[in-house]
């Protein structure tokens, strides 16, 4: 169905090719997962399938890409529209029409599908994705999971035989991600659509994949079964890491595989190692205390009388569905967002940051917004750092030194927009850390980070906590929470529904439990590292 | 007549109706006639608007109309030349140098002058309310959908452009919020660097993503076209639109020569239709759930055209009634023909099919919730 024949892609002004001598064949009806670290060329590989690379992006493509018998050299993306459906990473940015129904029909209108056929296909697609009740809703008012399903439906109405998805679940909460993956699974199993999907959240998707394409940093690729590729991959989900640590053969890919193998491990851990006690929450000084915080937008109440205390040395994960009020709570606590009720007392004197000038407020509570790029606007990393020092009145070089601690070796002459997601987050965090606020709030920081970037980031967060800062991380990433957080607060509809040590809150939860906890249930193990340490202790 | 099913009228019909009434209103300065026309328009809006977001702003249009009248009158009082004998009051007059002869600021204010400004303002306000009514009765974006294939790409460009403004505002707010977090230096230069540039970068990024997505979905697919035929299509379209503009202007401006009006309009229309036909031949696309054009559409647009026609006749038969005398001052009266025109304008309140109270799906959801 999709054939790459010795494909090499080089962008203009690039020193080295993004993809190097790629030859692979993806047969019909397969769900193929594309994995690799950020910046390794996954998006380029996806773009090459429907000719966006090089017709739209520029650059040179040597070799041949053939999809369903059509060569992308002679077919532009629009000529492949009825063969390949492409869903962009952020579905909102790809929407053309206003309402769900019109969006679903858009591609068919372009392909001159007769009106009667269009009507029928729109109804079928609405049912297939379970979005019939949304048909008249404006697309921009939908939730993230609904938007993603509408976006997939909108390309599917043209009846393409190949579906290309770029990180369909990265921005979604676990529940919405399940919905989207179920819809994709139905396409593969019932309709025989060939799906090529890039995704960072391997733990969510690896078990559904028939084959995996691994894009290495040098642009070469390997294509094989998930079991083969996970052995050599730069990135792997926790179950695979657990299997590697215990030298299981074959490697487990799903929680179910691992759980069947883990009988002996559970017994071993029971006998020789103490189950990890829920680490007592470090009882440092109270750095911030919020009482009955209310945030509302018009008639909608985003945050409903929430109480929250933050202590020195604590790393708190704020979890909950998209739209459950996580961001609103962070902004309200920081003082620059809307707050219609309640009190916030920050610092030792207990002042309300909302009443302070921004420069004073950020000394008490810092915040890195969801798109860290919003904080950056100068042409080079070096200038950003220098400005950050001046704004916060810190000694010269403070910001640069913090940046070196998070991610060493970023070129000071690089443009912030050219950095990888992880580097950009590091720069934004370094800028906000300059005045050394006691409390640091981070909104969805791990979105778009690959495994190694997440590790580095988690290590830095741990350092901050050890230095006596309080760190709050709003996130959907359960695996990251398992590694980085020692307390979890779950929000639903603007109210706190759970608050406690990470293990207590997540282990028993069907949505928020990390993979290791699911494998070793009912004991509260959270991460591979914990298990490895316990086993090393048991052996010695 | 069997019971009519609720449905949305073709947006083109509403616009024709509204333009017809606008043309009718442009034929008179009689405030009574104009107010009756406004009442007719308001009545139709009240009966036949949906509960969509764009259909909820008639009060805004009325405020805008009042503002137009007020500005017109105030300017006339301050700057206008005041011919007329009934002096209402005298403002202090600003002495201007001889170079500015003919310009007057302040001075005597006559009733005739104020009334002339008021009548004119009411006429402008009526035109504005007609456009507002069309906007509320028919989503202008649905009108774009009914564009012929040749100009479809233009329609998509407009649709996309319409979504850009709210997006720009949204990213502007987001970036300003983020800037406050960082407390970056203030001042105008800081604003350009700190807000304007990131917002523009954001907009560019978004438009590139959108362009890629649209390309992947088949936008812009058509048969290759030869240079000469695309030149002919362009010339026909431009010439036609130019002709229509001149014709409409001549029709609406009572002082333009008669020969310039209708003939230019007709020729312009024919040329434009030819161009659209020719251009549309190479575009292969279909429309999802096209709005049908049935009896009700004919009736509603006929009402607009009819109202305009009656007023044109009236202006030939009884011009004194349409342009009430200010010197000497006379109380304006509602003539028979203008009343007929207003009655015709009001007919769509019954002729147009009733609107669906709300989308079926939201009803079923409420039912499900209730159950």
Higher pLDDT, B329 or A277: B329
Bridge partners of A315? A471
The pLDDT of residue B26 is above 60:
yes
Q: Is A255 an 8 Å CB contact of chain B? A: no
Find the CATH number of the domain harbouring A362: 3.40.50.300
| Boundary residue ending a domain (A182, A208, A236) | A236
Chain centroid, CA A186 distance in Å:
23
Residue A127 CB coordination number (10 Å): 10
Mutation target among B166, B181, B183, B197 for the A interface, most CBs of A within 10 A: B181
What is the mean pLDDT of the segment spanning B74-99? 79
CB A48 within 8 A of CB A61: yes
Stretch among B222-231, B272-281, B339-348 having the lowest mean pLDDT: B222-231
Mutation target among B50, B139, B170, B217 for the A interface, most CBs of A within 10 A: B217
Based on the domain organization, do A323 and A451 belong to the same domain? Answer: yes
Based on the domain organization, do A364 and A484 belong to the same domain? Answer: yes
| Average per-residue pLDDT for chain B | 82
CB A54 within 8 A of CB A32: no
- Residue A276 is classified by DSSP as P
Q: Is A216 among the domain residues?
A: yes
* Tens-place pLDDT, residues B144-177: 777 777 777 777 777 777 777 778 888 888 888 8
Residue B5 CB coordination number (10 Å): 8
Q: Is B234 an 8 Å CB contact of chain A? A: no
Size of interface A-B (CB pairs under 8 A): 159
The two beta strands, A2-10 and A19-26, are: antiparallel
Mutation target among A93, A136, A372, A416 for the B interface, most CBs of B within 10 A: A93
Closest CA to A315 of A421, A110, A469: A469
pLDDT for position B82: 63
pLDDT for position B371: 34
Cβ–Cβ gap A96/B183 under 8 Å: no
Task: Give the span between the Cα atoms of B281 and A449, in whole angstroms.
Answer: 49
Based on the domain organization, do A210 and A320 belong to the same domain? Answer: no
| Boundary residue ending a domain (A192, A217, A236) | A236
- Verify cis geometry, omega within 30 degrees of 0, for the bond prior to B328: yes
Stretch among A526-540, B62-76, B205-219, B275-289 having the lowest mean pLDDT: B275-289
CB B299 within 8 A of CB B348: yes
Based on the domain organization, do A20 and A161 belong to the same domain? Answer: yes
pLDDT for position A120: 94
Mutation target among A88, A96, A125 for the B interface, most CBs of B within 10 A: A96
Cβ–Cβ gap B185/A391 under 8 Å: yes
Neighboring chain A residues of B182 at a CB cutoff of 8 Å: 362, 375, 388, 391, 431-432
The pLDDT of residue B363 is above 50:
no
Cβ–Cβ gap B286/A109 under 8 Å: yes
What is the mean pLDDT of the segment spanning B348-355? 89
The two beta strands, A194-198 and A31-35, are: parallel
Q: Is A297 among the domain residues?
A: no
- Closest approach of A135 to chain B, Cα-based (Å): 8
Q: Is A62 among the domain residues?
A: yes
pLDDT for position B139: 76
Q: Is A19 among the domain residues?
A: yes
Q: Which residues contact A173 (CB under 8 A, 6 or more apart)?
A: A144, A145, A320, A321, A322, A476
Cβ–Cβ gap B216/A155 under 8 Å: yes
Stretch among A274-278, A358-362, B40-44, B52-56 having the lowest mean pLDDT: A274-278
Neighboring chain B residues of A80 at a CB cutoff of 8 Å: 216
Facing A107 at nearest CB: one of B174, B218, B287: B218
pLDDT for position B370: 36
Band of pLDDT at residue B360, cut at 50, 70 and 90? very low
CB A159 within 8 A of CB A128: no
Neighboring chain B residues of A81 at a CB cutoff of 8 Å: 216-218, 221
Q: Which domain holds residue A181?
A: 2-236
Based on the domain organization, do A201 and A326 belong to the same domain? Answer: no
The ipTM assigned to this model is 0.86
Cβ–Cβ gap A133/B201 under 8 Å: no
| Boundary residue ending a domain (A219, A236, A253) | A236
The SS3 of residue B85 is: coil
**Which H or E run contains A286?**
strand A286-297
Based on the domain organization, do A151 and A38 belong to the same domain? Answer: yes
Residue spans of beta strands (DSSP E) within B45-204:
87-94, 105-110
Q: Is A520 among the domain residues?
A: no
Based on the domain organization, do A334 and A455 belong to the same domain? Answer: yes
* Tens-place pLDDT, residues B246-268: 888 887 776 777 677 778 888 88
CB A323 within 8 A of CB A173: no
Instruction: Spell out, as residue ranges, where chain A has pLDDT lower than 70.
Output: 273, 275, 277-282, 540
Based on the domain organization, do A318 and A231 belong to the same domain? Answer: no
Q: Is A304 among the domain residues?
A: no
| Biggest distance spanned by C-alpha atoms of chain A | 73
pLDDT for position A281: 63
| Average per-residue pLDDT for chain A | 89
Based on the domain organization, do A334 and A224 belong to the same domain? Answer: no
Q: How many domains does chain A contain in total?
A: 2
Q: Is A242 among the domain residues?
A: no
Q: Is A78 among the domain residues?
A: yes
């Amino acid at each position: 169905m999709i054939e790459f024949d010795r494909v090499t892609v080089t962008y203009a002004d690039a020193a080295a090719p993004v993809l190097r001598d790629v030859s692979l064949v993806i047969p019909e009806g397969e769900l193929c997962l594309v994995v690799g670290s950020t910046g390794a060329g996954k998006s380029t590989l996806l773009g090459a399938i429907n000719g966006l690379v090089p017709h739209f992006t520029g650059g040179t493509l040597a070799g041949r890409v053939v999809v369903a018998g059509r060569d992308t050299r002679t077919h532009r993306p629009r000529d492949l529209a009825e063969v390949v459906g492409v869903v962009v990473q952020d579905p909102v940015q790809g929407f053309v029409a206003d309402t769900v129904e019109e969006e679903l029909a858009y591609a068919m209108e372009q392909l001159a599908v007769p009106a009667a056929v269009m009507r029928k296909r729109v109804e079928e697609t609405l049912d297939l994705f379970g979005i019939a009740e949304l048909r008249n809703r404006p697309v921009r008012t939908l939730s993230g999971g609904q938007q993603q399903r509408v976006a997939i439906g909108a390309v599917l109405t043209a009846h393409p035989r190949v579906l290309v998805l770029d990180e369909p679940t990265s921005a979604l909460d676990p529940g919405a991600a399940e919905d989207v993956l179920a819809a994709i699974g139905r396409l593969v199993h019932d309709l025989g659509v060939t799906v090529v999907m890039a995704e960072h959240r391997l733990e969510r998707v690896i078990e559904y994949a028939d084959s995996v394409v691994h894009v290495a940093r040098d642009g070469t690729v390997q294509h094989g079964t998930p079991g083969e590729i996970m052995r050599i991959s730069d990135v792997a989900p926790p179950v695979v890491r657990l299997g590697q640590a215990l030298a299981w053969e074959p490697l487990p890919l799903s929680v179910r595989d691992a759980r069947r193998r883990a009988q002996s491990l559970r017994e071993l851990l029971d006998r020789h190692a103490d189950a990890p006690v829920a680490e007592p929450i470090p009882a440092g000084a109270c750095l911030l205390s919020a009482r009955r915080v209310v945030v509302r937008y018009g008639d909608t109440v985003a945050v409903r009388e929430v109480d929250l205390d933050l202590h020195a040395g604590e790393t708190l994960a704020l979890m909950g569905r998209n739209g459950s009020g996580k961001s609103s709570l962070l902004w309200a606590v920081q003082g620059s967002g809307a707050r219609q009720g309640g009190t916030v007392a920050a610092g030792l004197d207990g002042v309300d940051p909302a009443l302070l000038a921004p420069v004073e407020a950020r000394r008490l509570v810092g915040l890195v917004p969801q798109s860290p790029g919003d904080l950056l606007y100068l042409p080079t990393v070096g200038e950003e750092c220098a400005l950050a020092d001046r704004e916060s009145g810190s000694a010269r070089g403070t910001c640069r030194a913090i940046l070196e601690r998070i991610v060493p070796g970023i070129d000071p002459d690089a443009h912030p927009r050219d950095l990888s997601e992880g580097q950009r987050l590091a720069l934004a965090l370094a800028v906000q850390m300059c005045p050394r606020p006691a409390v640091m709030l981070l909104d969805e920081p791990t979105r778009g980070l690959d495994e190694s970037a997440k590790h580095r980031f988690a290590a830095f967060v741990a350092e901050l906590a050890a230095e006596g800062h309080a760190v709050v991380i709003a996130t959907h990433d359960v695996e990251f929470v398992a590694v980085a957080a020692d307390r979890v607060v779950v929000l639903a509809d603007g109210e706190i529904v759970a608050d406690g040590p990470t293990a207590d809150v997540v282990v028993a939860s069907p949505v928020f439990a990390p993979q290791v906890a699911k494998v070793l249930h009912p004991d509260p193990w959270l991460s591979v590292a914990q298990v490895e340490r316990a086993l090393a202790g048991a052996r010695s | 007549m069997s019971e009519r099913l609720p449905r949305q009228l073709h947006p083109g019909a509403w616009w024709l109706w509204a333009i017809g009434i606008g043309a009718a209103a442009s034929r008179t300065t009689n405030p009574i006639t104009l107010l009756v026309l406004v009442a007719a328009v308001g009545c139709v809006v009240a009966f036949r608007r949906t509960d969509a977001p764009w259909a909820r702003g008639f009060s805004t249009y009325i405020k805008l109309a009042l503002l137009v009248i007020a500005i017109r009158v105030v300017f006339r009082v301050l700057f206008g030349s005041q011919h007329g004998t009934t002096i209402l009051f005298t403002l202090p007059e600003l002495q201007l140098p001889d170079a500015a002869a003919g310009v007057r600021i302040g001075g005597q204010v006559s009733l005739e002058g104020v009334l002339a400004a008021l009548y004119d303002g009411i006429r402008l306000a009526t035109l504005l309310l007609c456009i507002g009514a069309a906007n509320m009765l028919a989503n202008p974006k649905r009108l774009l959908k009914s564009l012929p294939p040749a100009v479809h790409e233009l329609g998509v460009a407009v649709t996309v452009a319409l979504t850009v403004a709210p997006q720009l505002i949204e990213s502007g707010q987001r970036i300003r919020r983020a800037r406050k977090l960082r407390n970056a230096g203030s001042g105008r230069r800081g604003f350009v660097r700190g807000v304007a540039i990131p917002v523009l970068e954001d907009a560019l990024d978004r438009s590139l993503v959108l362009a890629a997505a649209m390309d992947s979905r088949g936008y812009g697919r058509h048969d290759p076209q030869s240079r000469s035929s695309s030149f002919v299509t362009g010339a026909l379209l431009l010439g036609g639109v130019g002709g229509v503009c001149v014709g409409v202007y001549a029709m609406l401006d009572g002082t333009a020569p008669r020969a310039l009006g209708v003939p230019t309009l007709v020729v312009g229309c024919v040329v434009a239709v030819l161009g659209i036909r020719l251009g549309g031949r190479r575009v292969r696309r279909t429309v999802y759930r096209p709005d049908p054009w049935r009896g009700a559409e004919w009736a509603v647009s006929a009402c607009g055209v009819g109202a305009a026609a009656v007023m044109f006749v009236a202006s030939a038969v009884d011009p004194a009634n349409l342009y009430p005398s200010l010197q000497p001052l006379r109380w304006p009266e509602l003539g028979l023909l203008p009343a007929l025109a207003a009655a015709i304008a009001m007919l769509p309140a019954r002729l147009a099919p009733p609107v669906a109270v709300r989308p079926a799906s939201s009803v079923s959801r409420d039912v499900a919730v209730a159950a």
